[in-house]
Structure 1
């Protein structure tokens, strides 16, 4: 891949080059190797950012692999009434072999499914215990874009960080990449949670792609991230020069996630968004906190938006503490159902050990639901000061979680104050329109840099 290395590093081009002079609408290729919003924050990012870019008048084409993105106002034909300013959102499917689909994950494709050497690479990496999608998607995206030179003003990669990206600037595509947080953080937490050498070896092999992501990130001309905390992690763990990393906060859909007094509040209800089998999300500590809390407040119960684990530490903790009737998992609900669920809770909780931003925190605050959150990663950046816009506790401390949850459940006035302050904070700092406008500024700078580089070569 050395033949596709990006331009040599030097003075920060985004600081030394003037921004693009014109304010014309842009043609944007937005790349996402895993874009379904029900699969995590990357899909939520693509959905909301693409919509807000289109509302600003830009033409957005999302290039995505399975599970395909869910996009708002996507074009079925030549025009969409969703964006009267002339913007548009369109999906182009760059199909993988979909090796991790349900109900047959880690499947071996039939011979007729293979189309080219990239498919063979994808299967071979899976067979040897690795995760191939960032690399293979980047190679398919580069091939697709190379056939469409001149079709886009800028390419925006959503944390693929595959080798295929490195050829894009040389092919004439201005490139901007978003890194929500380094996946090396997930790797470390999963290694820490591994209980034997076989599991540790499996985790190391699965996360082998992070070596590629480090190499690629160091060569990228412009990296966007969602928080100051993530920016520091990218510098420290990926080795990216600080001057190349820029913070553009993301946020909540404040029109959708809004207070509604007509939704009845359920006494004792705590809501969280988490996958039971992801150590980083800290769900096991919240389950332990619930067990402590229910000795004093028996009505306390937890609704988890996410996948239920049938075995593992969380499932074992629910059984050990006798919480089967006090912990409910919900999955596949609509946006409206999710918003009403958060509105119905007396408390929202983010128990994560680390977050690069924490969309669930911003969304809960936008509904006016009071928040208990840890201080892991960027969560304090979003949730704000302890006692003013949330109650903050150390990550991994079930006792502190139980105490904060109990305090909020028992104090209606505190809930009302924190809920109102939380929504005001989101409206002031964290909306998708603000995120789109900030991102477009970096698009225009990247375009200007690419044009200047082309002029020098000429």
Structure 2
């Protein structure tokens, strides 16, 4: 057959970065090229971006995205429109190239992936980064959650192979979507510490949020209820009250999302609105700098398929406390070697752990040292080799039919 050629569909790819998905697809595709796969990425773009270009050996094809609706109820229609445009572009690519596998990322591109894989007569691989069922704690009976959940169920059962980022997510999709065990492979997210270089003047940046003698607690991520930041604010309020001036504590919330206004109200009601800062959405350069200036990063998620923020923090030398839930258990083991866990959903226990880490400097230093070695296990080149092996498996299985 010669060199394997894959068409990867993703609704975001740099320079369009709305979350971890774009970063994941970029690093994965870079390394797939290095292991000998010819990679074509079909994604969305705007008038400032070339329709086609080769970036680090990756063939990037961009579809002009339709106008983005502000109303969540119209989001599904927007996604359907985008899938139609991506399908048309994919059909044209299929006239120019012979693709051996189609690989889609999440439900956002599922419809186009399905049609293109059928048209090309090749296997379909779908990576599930998160599920609507998990994000909403199983409450998926109303639109648009019901629609998204339905698409996820259909696409996972339709795919020749499903990839999840953790063993937790594998069990989750097996249970929720009724899949066979052989249909789901676990390939973790990766990290490259070289990508986490700070750009800001760190002393000046830290001075914006905390005095030299103060401790700074960092919260990073999309401000959704399932990310658990409401638990962290409750815990931080208790820590500030108990430690007082002996260990003056401040917090920083980096991210945006639908729960932002509620979190700000909560901070005011707790009386800690003057003790912290809500930064809103930030770019990668600022984010990587924040990890370097914080004394502690807290990942309090109620639902977390993997836990990339914890991995980034550890790789940046920032000690971590994570919820004992989901994929976070696979990123931060239970032995307190590289980070601390708290009982998921328990703000009081989180407060105890925050207080412990802020007041125990030897513990902090030990965790940072061990974590810097631990993150090397999440190597992108190994992840690319595992993904290429999945391609080989599904292509061989299709050939036997």
So what's the TM-score if we normalise by structure 1?
0.75
Summarize deviations over 1:260-300 as a string: whole Å, max 9, x none: 9x966864111121233x11100111111111110133421
* 8 Å CA contact retained: 1:175, 1:222: yes
SS of 1:419's partner is: helix
SS where residue 131 of structure 1 aligns?
A: helix
* Residues 1:289 and 2:235 are matched in the alignment: yes
Cα distance change on mapping 1:55 and 1:209 into 2, 3 Å: same
Output the CA distance in 2 between the equivalents of 1:401 and 1:38. Answer: 31
1:217 counterpart = 2:156: yes
Task: Give the Å deviation of 1:53.
Answer: 2.3
Return the offset for 1:335: 3.0
Q: Distance in 2 between matches of 1:314 and 1:274?
A: 13
1:106-157 Cα shifts (integer Å, max 9, x gaps) = 3xxxxxxxxxxxxxxxxxxx7x656235544444433332333334332210
Structure 1: unaligned runs, 5 residues or longer: 1-21, 107-125, 192-199, 454-458
Which residue is 2:221 aligned to?
A: 274
Q: Distance in 1 between matches of 2:372 and 2:51?
A: 32
Asked whether the equivalents of residues 291 and 317 of structure 2 are also in contact (C-alpha less than 8 Å), the reply is: no
Structure 1 residue 90 and structure 2 residue 69: aligned? no
Q: In structure 1, which of residues 148, 156, 160 is the aligned counterpart of residue 103 of structure 2?
A: 156
Partners of 1:297 and 1:30 lie apart in 2 by 51
1:327 Cα offset (Å): 2.3
Matched, 1:436 2:394: no
RMSD: 3.1
The 3 A distance-change label for structure 1 pair 227 and 133 is: farther
* Structure 1 partner of 2:25: 46
Task: Give the deviation of 1:96 after TM superposition.
Answer: 3.7
Contact preservation (8 Å) 2:198, 2:288:
no
Question: Matched residue of 1:329: which SS?
Answer: strand
Q: Give distance in 2, aligned partners of 1:417 and 1:35.
A: 36
Distance 1:207 1:326, change over 3 A: farther
Aligned pair 1:426/2:375, yes or no? yes
Deviates more, 1:325-334 or 1:208-217: 325-334
1:411 and 2:370 correspond: no
Q: Output the CA distance in 2 between the equivalents of 1:138 and 1:76.
A: 18
Question: Which residue among 167, 171, 182 is the counterpart of 1:228?
Answer: 167
Secondary structure class of the residue paired with 1:353: coil
Counterpart of 1:184?
133
The answer to whether the aligner puts 1:145 opposite 2:90 as a matched pair is yes
Q: How does 1:253-402 map to 2 (within 5 A)?
A: 253-257=192-196, 267-276=214-223, 278-298=224-244, 299-307=248-256, 312-402=261-351
Using a 3 Å threshold, how does the CA distance of structure 1 residues 297 and 151 change in structure 2: closer, same or farther?
A: farther
Residues in 2 aligned to 1:413 and 1:45: alpha-carbon distance in whole angstroms: 34
Query: Equivalents in 2 of 1:386, 1:329: separation in Å?
Result: 32
1:63 Cα shift?
1.1
3-state SS in 1 of match to 2:265: helix
1:433–1:281 distance in 2 versus 1, CA, 3 Å: same
Select between 282-291 and 313-322 the one with higher mean Cα deviation: 313-322
d(CA) in 2 for partners of 1:395 and 1:26?
A: 43
The residue number in structure 1 matching 2:397 is: 449
**Alignment TM-score, normalising by the size of structure 2:** 0.85
How many residue pairs are counted as aligned between the two chains? Answer: 384
Which deviates more, 167-176 or 388-397? Answer: 167-176
| Structure 2: gaps of 5 or more residues | 207-211
Q: What residue number does 1:248 align with?
A: 187
Structure 2 equivalent of residue 60 of structure 1? 39
Cα deviation 1:239-266 (Å, max 9, x = unaligned): 2221100001112222233799x96686
C-alpha separation in 1, matches of 2:194 and 2:396:
34
* Counterpart contact for 1:271–1:302, Cα < 8 Å: yes
The alpha-carbon distance between structure 1 residues 66 and 131, as it changes in their structure 2 partners (threshold 3 A), is farther
Check conservation: 2:198, 2:286, Cα contact below 8 A: no
How far did residue 312 of structure 1 move? Answer: 4.1
Query: CA separation in 2, counterparts of 1:67 and 1:420?
Result: 43
Structure 2 SS opposite 1:295: helix
Following superposition, the deviation at residue 168 of structure 1 comes to 3.6
Whichever structure has more strand as a proportion of its residues is: 2
